[in-house]
Each structure stands twice: as C-alpha cells, then as structure tokens.
Structure 1
Amino acid sequence: MESPDFTHGSVSVDNGTPAQPSPEDTVQTVIALPIFMFAGGAVGNLIAIIVLSVSRQERKSSAFYTLVCGLAVTDLLGTCLASPLTIANYLDQHVLKDARLCQFHSFLLLFFGVTGLSIICAMAAERYLAICCPYTYQRWGVGRRFAQRFLVFIYASHVLFCCLPMMGMARSELQPSATWCFVDWRTHEPAAAAYSILYGVVSVLLILGTIVLNLAVSGALLLMRQRTVQGPATRASVRQRWRALSSAAETQMMAVLVVTSAVVLACSAPLVVRVFANRFMLNNDPSADLAAIRIASVNPILDPWIYILLRRSLLRRLLSLSRKGGSSQARGCASSPPQRNLFYPDIMRDSHVFTQLMCSANIITQLPAAVKFTQHDAESLQQTSNTAD
C-alpha cells in the first residue's frame, strides 16, 4: 500500500502545495533533447553519405562532391564524438569536471567548428575557380584527388591549431551551465587571450571569404546570362559557355553551395560573436553562450538534409521545366513555316537563344528540299518553253 505522502507527477501533497518533479524525471526531460540531436545528426549524415556514394561516377569524381562528402563525414564525426560526452554529462554531472575530458570536449567543439567553415570556404573557392577562372582550374588539375589532399591538409592544420590549448597556450574550462567545455575566453593571460582572438579572427576570415566567393560566382553567372540574352547572335562562345554552366549538374552544385553556406554561416556566426563579446566587451552572459553553442550544434543536423532533399527536388523540378520548355519550343518551330523565318530575320533575333537554335536546325533540314523543288520547277519550265517553241 502506498504512503500518504507519495505523489505521482503533479499530484498535491497533504498541505496543498504542488509536488516538485523528481530529479529523475527532470533528467529524463532534459536529456531528451541531446539524444534527439545526436540521433538526427548521425542518421542524417549516414543517409547523406550513402546518397553521395551512389551518385554517378562523373559526380563522384568531381572536386565539389568530394568536398561535400568530406563535410558530411566531418559532421558525422563531430556528432558521434561530442554528443556522447554531452549525454553522459547529463546523466552524471561529474563527467566534464574531469580536466582531461573537459579539454577533449573543448577540442572537439573548436576543431569541428572551424573545420566546417573551412570546408564550406573550400567549396566556394572550387566553384569560383571552375566558373570564373577555368584555365587556372584546369592547370591546377582540380579534381577528386586534389580535393582529397586539400581535405587532409585542412584536418592536419586544424588538429594542430585546436591542440594549442592542450599544449598550454590556453586553458579549457567548464562553462557555467556545466554542460559543455570551451576555452577560457575571459582570462587576462596574454597567451590565452591571444588564442581566443586568433580563433575568432580565423573564423571571421573564413565566413567573409565564403560570402565574397559566393557573391563573385553569382555575379559572374548573372553577368554571363545578361550578355547571352542582350548580346549579338554571333557570340556563340558566350552562349555555349552559359549553356554549359546552366546545366542541371552546375545548377545543382550552386544550389547546394548557397544553401549549405547560408546554414553553416548562420549556425556558426553566433558562437563567433560570443567569442569577441567575451573577449573585448567582458559581457558575462552564460545564457547567450549556451544558446550560441546550441545553435552551432544544429548545423550537423541540417547539413545532410540539404544534400538529400535539395538535390532530388531540384533535379526533378529542372527536368520538368526543361521538358515543358522543349515541348513548347518544338511546337513553336513546327507551327512557323521556314520561309517566314528566312525572309523575316527580325523574328529570329527577338526570340530566345534556344528557340533560335532549334528553329535554325529546322530550317537547315528543310533547305535541301526547297532547293530541289526550285530546280525541278526550273527544269519543268525549261521543258515547257522548249515544247512551246
């Protein structure tokens, strides 16, 4: 039989005050969020890696998709290494109080934060070279092997950079919420202060570099599109280059790059802002720091679904649009007689580039028949005139 003071949930005790939830219920409620984030990040990145691995061979051999796969692997490793420590600390708050585990947790957050920004910047640089500097792109031999070597360089350099706190340059400490560890960004020690500033400056440079490169690529594509539409019909090289750049694969790459860059920068920027705020403004706001690291933790969950959902929906939409456009153009060319296009070239000049090409092809195929018909008529007329004479 239960005791009179025993309560379940929010049942009131004898004095009328509502009973407080037990510590076990509180822990189960709070730990549900990191478990959900861990499962979402791990499953999503595994699916993304599988989707990327079964892509066509020409896509897998490109530098861009090698970097995308490297970003997915980085997000997966970050989720699988950092999240279990966070979950264990929710179960036992003495886990991160261990100095070595706290340093390791701080290293993970530093490393995977700056590595994600570096890979995104490398993806933007690869697109910039491919579109704006194609000769340099070919001369450097930017491909799958080049991207793999660059990923190894990123990992090696960032491991060394993020190990500096363990080597004594800075000190990692448990944050006031007691759920995560990071470098002591409010210390007055010159070496530790210099490291936190250096980490923030590197992150800001990577963010700015990604934004500038994306803007440069978008501007180059818009300028090329404008020249294609407004330029004279003789500039076939510009039209051909634009058609190559506006293909489904190139459009897919740009869409993945822009959306992934926006997500990564939006998730990483709050933590970078808090680094400078804690260093220069001495703004002690643990709740803002906790919110910044939580926003950064959402990034590995969102990234893989960009590769999974965006690429499939984009290709399907582009295919449907191209089929509709091709059918309408074919109907337009079939309805217009070739003689009208020959004698009224203004109609051809004002129409779309692809419509011009298709109608021109239609005219060329019908020209021999017209020539034969004219010769036959001439011979008939000649025979008629001879007979009449």
Structure 2
Amino acid sequence: MTPTLKSIALPIFMFAGGAIGNIIAIIVLSVSRQERKSSAFYTLVCGLAVTDLLGTCLASPITIANYLEQHVLKNEHVCEFHSFLLLFFALAGLSIICTMAAERYLAICCPYTYHRWGVDRRFAQKFLFFIYISHIFFCCLPTMGMARSLLQSSNTWCFIDWRTAEPAAAAYSVLYAVVSLLLILVTIALNLAVCGALLLMRQRTVHRPVTRTSVRERWRSLSSAAETQMIAVLVMTSAVVLACSAPLVVRVFANQFMLKIDSKADLAAIRIASVNPILDPWIYILLRRSLFRRLLGLSRRGSSTHSSSSIAPQRNLFYPDIMRDSHVFTQLMCNANIITQLPATVKFTLNDTESPHQT
C-alpha cells in the first residue's frame, strides 16, 4: 500500500462509519411506533442523527479530496467552508445533546413544567430550527471578518486561526471554546441530576412500606427497566461528549493562551471530535432497546425466580408514558414526597376507587 493510500484510509473509514451508522439510525427511527414519533426526545434524536449525517457527508469528502489532491484546501473559499463545517457541526451536536439532556430533566424532575410548556414533537422541531439558525450565524462570524480561517500545519483540515493576536479573532476563539465547555458541563450536570432523581425516587419507594401490592408492582414495571436503560444511556452520553468534544475545546484554550505549538495534538483533537458522529447513532438508537431489554430480561429471570406475579410491559424512554396513568403518577409523586409542591390548580383523575393517601 502506498503512503497516499495509507493516509487516506482513515478519513475513508471514518466517512463510511459515520454515514452508514447514521443512515441505519434514521431507518430504525423511521420504523418506530407512532407513539414514539410524537415525543420530543424522538425528534431530538432524529435531529442529532440527521445533523451527524450531514456533517459527515459534507466535511469528509473535502478531506478525502484534499488527501488525493493537496491543493484543494489551499483555496481560500474552500478552506473557509471547511472551517465553517467543523465549527458548526461540532457545536450543533453539543447543543442537541444538551437539549436532549434538558428534555429528560424536565420530563423526570419537573413533569408539570414539562406538561405545561407542551414539550412535544412540534416544540422540539422549533428548538432544532433555533439551534440551526443561531449556530449558522455564530459560525459565519469568521467569514464576516471577526476571525479568519487557516489551513493547519498538517495541510489536511482548516480551522479558525486560534493563535492570532488580533483582539477580535482571539475573542471569537475564546468565546467558541467557552460556549462549547458550557454545553459539556450543562449536559453532564443535567444527566447527573436525572440519575440522582431516579435513584432517589426508587430508594424512597422501595424503603417506604406500602399496603397496596399493585402500586409497588406498577412502580417496578415503570422504573426498573426504564431506570436501568436511562442511567446507562445518560452515562454513555456524558462519556462520549466528554471524550470526543473536550480535547478540541482544550486545544482551543491551549493555542490561545500557551506559546507552545503542538500540531500533532491539534490533529488528534479534531480526529477525536470526528469520532462523535460515528458513536452517536449506536448509543442513542441501537443500544436503547434490543441490548438492554435482553440483558434486563436475563437479569430478571435470574433474580426474580421466587416471584410468581406477572410484570407489566416495559415503557419506552422516548415518550413520557408515565404521564398517561394519572393514578400511578399520583402514587409515585406521593412516595417521592413532592406532591405537596404542586400548584392548587392541578387536578388528577383517579382511575381507582381508593384515595392516593391510602399508601
């Protein structure tokens, strides 16, 4: 294999992995039930898959063409466009992932605010549109003169000139890094808050004695599978965001405030960031159902052989089904000791003849 073929193998592999993975994810989402399609989380996942697919299909061919012909990125307009693509899709991916974490936080920790705001498919579509428009404007600022794009020393990618001493360009580099860092931190904080809330609710429900077996069984059916799957997905989300996005953010700060130039570290950071679209579809789409349902089914068979009661079907994370059963929801909120925080105007329709205070 010639040196040219060896060097071009990595971008071709990353292009194929990102495109195929996201196409499979979009197909899987397209054949999902209508119930899940109407949820806000489903819409955000679709937006993330489409964003990753567009980023891969737009940026990777330019990189591959530059490997074949070294003068492609030396064109000023092509270099500016390539820099814009890297800036935009890196930031848009972080924003959508942060929005997904915020949607789950509202659905789990603030269900009444979630319901009052009407967070649904249309709401998510409007927010995705806002993310795209605002990020297009923000990432176009270098082409408007606030900063300038520069072919990096490896001659394989373009990015903003993050070592410039010009005040406007330096301010943009720092601003881009700060916004990215804030998105990462907010995503991690929201994920931890959701995990903590779920664990706290389950701990209080398990340790609090109840007189109605049906309430405990319903809670187990609603929370055991969903909680395990939710925590695993959120932990994986935090790990992927931190591992793929943090190196590039660190390099932006390092190139702005440190005198030492490390071109190899810069190239490694952008390559790690490019792995994010490859991992996203497998984490958010494929792992969310088949693997966890099978693993949870096996664990239930091993740990619940003494129980003869039937377990209700698992609920999907991508749709707030818990809001549909008002009686179960009232029982859970009582067990979590937060029913006293509800506004006086909120009313529940009990499907059972017993009062929720009997638990």
Short-chain TM bin? 0.7 to 0.9
Counterpart contact for 1:96–1:181, Cα < 8 Å: yes
From 294, 302, 323, the equivalent of 1:316 is 294
SS in 2 for 1:328: coil
Shift of residue 328, structure 1, vs aligned partner: 2.9
Q: Which residue of 1 aligns with 2:204?
A: 227
Q: Which residue of 2 aligns with 1:164?
A: 141
What does 1:33-48 align with in structure 2 at a 5 Å threshold? Answer: 33-48=10-25
Deviation sequence 1:287-307 (CA, Å, 0-9, x none): 000000011111111111222
Counterpart contact for 2:184–2:241, Cα < 8 Å: no
Deviation sequence 1:104-159 (CA, Å, 0-9, x none): 00000000101111111111101110111010000001111111111111111100
Counterpart contact for 1:256–1:311, Cα < 8 Å: no
1:61 aligned onto 2:35: no
Separation of aligned partners in 2, 1:262 and 1:270:
13
Separation of aligned partners in 1, 2:102 and 2:238:
12
From 122, 131, 144, the equivalent of 1:154 is 131
Q: Which has the larger radius of gyration?
A: 1
1:153–1:238 Cα change, 3 Å? farther
Separation of aligned partners in 2, 1:112 and 1:52:
21
Separation of aligned partners in 1, 2:149 and 2:211:
64
- Give the residue type in structure 1 aligned to 2:122: R
What does 1:173-252 align with in structure 2 at a 5 Å threshold? Answer: 173-233=150-210, 242-243=219-220, 245-246=222-223, 248-249=225-226, 251-252=228-229
Q: Which residue of 1 aligns with 2:348?
A: none
Deviation sequence 1:349-378 (CA, Å, 0-9, x none): xxxxxxxxxxxxxxxxxxxxxxxxxxxxxx
What does 1:1-389 align with in structure 2 at a 5 Å threshold? Answer: 25-233=2-210, 242-243=219-220, 245-246=222-223, 248-249=225-226, 251-306=228-283, 307-322=285-300, 328-330=306-308
CA RMSD of aligned residues (A): 2.3
Q: Which residue of 2 aligns with 1:348?
A: none
1:185–1:296 Cα change, 3 Å? same
Separation of aligned partners in 2, 1:324 and 1:62:
33
Shift of residue 65, structure 1, vs aligned partner: 1.6
Shift of residue 331, structure 1, vs aligned partner: 7.9
Q: TM-score, normalised by structure 2?
A: 0.81
Shift of residue 280, structure 1, vs aligned partner: 1.0
Q: Which has the higher contact order (CA 8 A, sep 6+)?
A: 2
Shift of residue 257, structure 1, vs aligned partner: 3.3
Separation of aligned partners in 1, 2:214 and 2:308:
24
Shift of residue 316, structure 1, vs aligned partner: 2.1
Shift of residue 165, structure 1, vs aligned partner: 0.4
- Give the residue type in structure 1 aligned to 2:84: F
1:253–1:62 Cα change, 3 Å? farther
Shift of residue 310, structure 1, vs aligned partner: 4.5
Q: Which residue of 2 aligns with 1:365?
A: none
> Please, which moves more after superposition, 274-283 or 256-265?
256-265
- Give the residue type in structure 2 aligned to 1:226: Q
1:264–1:140 Cα change, 3 Å? same
Deviation sequence 1:312-335 (CA, Å, 0-9, x none): 111222334445666531189xxx
Deviation sequence 1:193-245 (CA, Å, 0-9, x none): 01001000000100110011011111111111110121232599995885475
Shift of residue 28, structure 1, vs aligned partner: 1.2
Q: Which residue of 1 aligns with 2:331?
A: none
SS in 2 for 1:173: strand
Q: How many residues align?
A: 309
> Please, which moves more after superposition, 190-199 or 60-69?
60-69
- Give the residue type in structure 2 aligned to 1:97: K
The answer for unaligned runs of 5 or more in structure 1 is 1-8, 10-24, 333-389
1:89–1:228 Cα change, 3 Å? same
Shift of residue 311, structure 1, vs aligned partner: 2.6
SS in 1 for 2:171: helix
- Give the residue type in structure 2 aligned to 1:246: S
Counterpart contact for 2:244–2:276, Cα < 8 Å: yes
1:65–1:30 Cα change, 3 Å? same
1:105–1:126 Cα change, 3 Å? same
Separation of aligned partners in 2, 1:216 and 1:259:
15
> Please, which moves more after superposition, 322-331 or 43-52?
322-331
Counterpart contact for 1:66–1:144, Cα < 8 Å: yes
SS in 1 for 2:150: strand
Separation of aligned partners in 1, 2:215 and 2:305:
25
Counterpart contact for 2:148–2:160, Cα < 8 Å: yes
> Please, which moves more after superposition, 215-224 or 255-264?
255-264
